[in-house]
Amino acid sequence: MLETIWFILWGVLWAVYFMLDGFDLGLGTLLPVLSKNETDRRIIYNSMGPFWDGNEVWLITAGGATFAAFPVAYAVMFNGLYSALLLLLFALIIRGVCFEFRNKIDSDGWRGLWDAAMVIGSFLPALLLGVAFANIFEGLPIDQDGVFQGGLFTLLNPYGLAGGVLFVLLFLVHGSLWLALKSEGALQQRAGAMAKKLWPVLLVVAVLFLAFTLVATDLFNNYFKMPVLWILPLIAVLALLGTFVFIRQAAWLKAWLSSAVTILFVTFFGVAGLFPRLLPSSLNPAYSITIQNGAASQLTLKIMLVVALIMVPIVIAYQLWVYLFLGNKVTEKDLAYEEAY
């Protein structure tokens, strides 16, 4: 029972991370496309600035929960995905440094260097996260000893890359909508237009990825066994369609929230299809890491559950306060503050 509860929490933590950090990863990737001058770039930075580090907390929490609740899965994952995870870590470090270093020197060349680093530090995590989770959905070449029989290029298979493209597009739309919500004037119009252009591409890729998933994975087995689970992809589809409706209405908050729901339930769709496995083995199903053979002791799971029930609501309450308190649009006037990026 505790293993199942922690599997659900594991999926929720990753889904919330994708939902929150997704918009600033997408927005950072679109920085050179959406900005026309230094003012635009500073508005984009300041629309992400108060939130990005708080969003990263969910990545740390998801990773920590994997380590403590499912240590075997954590060990196998870092063994098999080590190169990809290391690239992800470096990219996230570079992105964090960009916020602090960009304005240290009053030079267009200096700022341009860190703007390029922001694009790389935003695009790579979005791509790598999609590649990593798509490979998990498809199954990793794990042998009977839990050793990954492959390398970085093993992960760059067609289905893995399709997952990477899907994640990038989800985050690009999400980021465009966030900027439309947080900006005004011409910048807001460009952000809204970008979301409107990207949405049909996202729809096509999502449909193709779903069809690819049916062929390349066994995620749908759980859905055929438990038809009630179909509500998860249904909500994802309705939210994706709703996002386009709200984009056409220029209802940016509703569009962003609908995009957030799409990301949440796309993640839930994959996680529900995995259950009870955490890391399926493509070599032999018997070699898969499951919630039974990959979990920590019952005592550890109980202690962690108590801590999670206390601390996670506090984190959620704090982040809600931050989003509400700093939810106003970023204007040129805000850039005059000393604390502004």
* DSSP symbols for 146-208: S-B---HHHH-SHHHHHHHHHHHHHHHHHHHHHHHHH--HHHHHHHHHHHHHHHHHHHHHHHH
Reported confidence tier of residue 252, pLDDT bands at 50, 70, 90: very high
Residue 41 corresponds to which amino acid? R
- DSSP letter, residue 81: S
At residue 251, the pLDDT reads: 96
Compute the distance between CA of residue 58 and CA of residue 18 in angstroms, rounded to an integer.
Answer: 9
**Under 8 Å between Cβ of 176 and 194:** yes
> Of 16-25, 138-147, 228-237, 321-330, which gets the smallest average pLDDT?
321-330
Mean pLDDT across the chain: 91
At residue 278, the pLDDT reads: 93
Compute the distance between CA of residue 200 and CA of residue 259 in angstroms, rounded to an integer.
Answer: 13
- Whole-model pTM: value is 0.94
Beta bridge partner(s), residue 279:
289
Q: Mean pLDDT throughout 3-24?
A: 94
Structure token pair of residue 305 = 């559950």
Q: Mean pLDDT throughout 127-134?
A: 94
Residues in the chain: 341
Compute the distance between CA of residue 341 and CA of residue 103 in angstroms, rounded to an integer.
Answer: 7
